[in-house]
Amino acid sequence: MQPYKTDVAVLILFFNRPDHLSKVFAEVRKARPSKLFLYQDGPRGERDMAGIEACRRVVENIDWECDVQRLYQERNYGCDPSEYISQKWAFSFVDKCIVLEDDDVPSQSFFTFCKEMLDRYENDERIWMIAGFNPEEQLKDYPYDYLFTSVFSIWGWASWRRVIDKWEPGYPFLDDRTAMRQLRKIMHQRRYCEDTLRACYDHRASGKEYYETIFWASMVMNSGLAIMPSHNLINNLGATDGSTHYTGSLQTMPRRLRRLFTMQRFELEGELKHPPYVIEDVDFKEQVYRTYAYGHRWIKFGRSMEELVLNLRYGNFAHIGRSIVNRIRKIFGKDSHW
């Protein structure tokens, strides 16, 4: 039995995709964290059992000294609220933790980077989370190994219990007129999509905890900042048939968005170069806004046309039909947002 290599806790969320999970867990095994939390949602029916059991075999291959906690659900909760449940569960045991889903493949530097950031900014209330995925891939000629930003990714991340304890699953800010007036101005200033706020209303009405909007709201309402590595540390495998949030394919995805799923992940060399001030990098934020077309109506329109042409080229008429239905639902305020 080998000793642990990195004194950090890691939560892995998985369900029934052993091929994806194997890639993620192979990197976790190399990193050998001191604590491991394993969360698996339960089966929707007998058809899920083979994949569920195969995933459990993957994560049983622990050949280093490690404190392991497991929460394997007997019934199916779905992606939401499973993500919320798993994160509240893990952070009830530890003050700081790395979170990986079964399609977030990390570099080895991701673990040491998160460990150093978790320790360095543990008591800095300005910092809300540490991201592993950089949508710009790498910031060339940037003098430091990370920056601070209000835009962030949850494709491999880390945070502290002090942050998760501030999550408000009931979205109470929605009932606060003063807070909402300020929030709408911030959303306009930052060019946030209005759908995000509508999703908060819908998620509260559903009675389920959707951690993505809960996390987003807690960060915005507390003026939190994320730490973003200057070089990407995560590959995401999510654009596949079995993914929860994406139903298309790389083949028909607009080129700039396709790059998000194919970009390089890096290993960092030497000691980290720390920025001297905790101040948001506005240039980076503007780059990300262009990448995701936040506030860039013509970029968004161009990508919609590109996706339509690609779907026509590859005969994906079913996807075109679903897109039309979703667009109609959005017009009438009946879309699911996330």
Cα distance between residue 130 and residue 229, in whole Å: 8
Tell me the whole-structure pTM to 2 decimals: 0.89
What's the pLDDT at 256?
75
For residue 250, the model assigns a pLDDT of 74
Exposed / middle / buried, residue 197 (Cβ in 10 Å: 0-12, 13-18, 19+): buried
Mean pLDDT for back-to-back runs of 10 residues, the chain (338 residues):
97 98 98 99 97 98 98 97 98 99 98 99 98 95 97 96 98 97 90 85 96 95 97 86 57 78 94 98 92 74 76 72 61 50
With H, G, I as helix, E, B as strand and everything else as coil, classify residue 286. helix
Please give the angle made by the CA atoms of 42, 114 and 276, to the nearest 5 degrees: 150
Long-range Cβ contacts of 260-263 (<8 Å, 24+ apart) = 260/135, 260/236, 260/291, 261/235, 261/236, 261/237, 263/137, 263/232, 263/235
Domains detected in the chain: 6-331 (3.90.550.10)
pLDDT of residue 247: 54
The two tokens of residue 182 are 């300020």
Residue 96 parent element (H or E): strand 96-101
- Which residue has tokens 């819908």? 202
Output the furthest CA–CA distance in the chain (Å, rounded).
59
SS3 state of residue 64 = strand
What confidence score (pLDDT) does residue 303 get? 74
Residue keyed to tokens 């962030």: 152
Q: Quote the DSSP letter at residue 293.
A: T
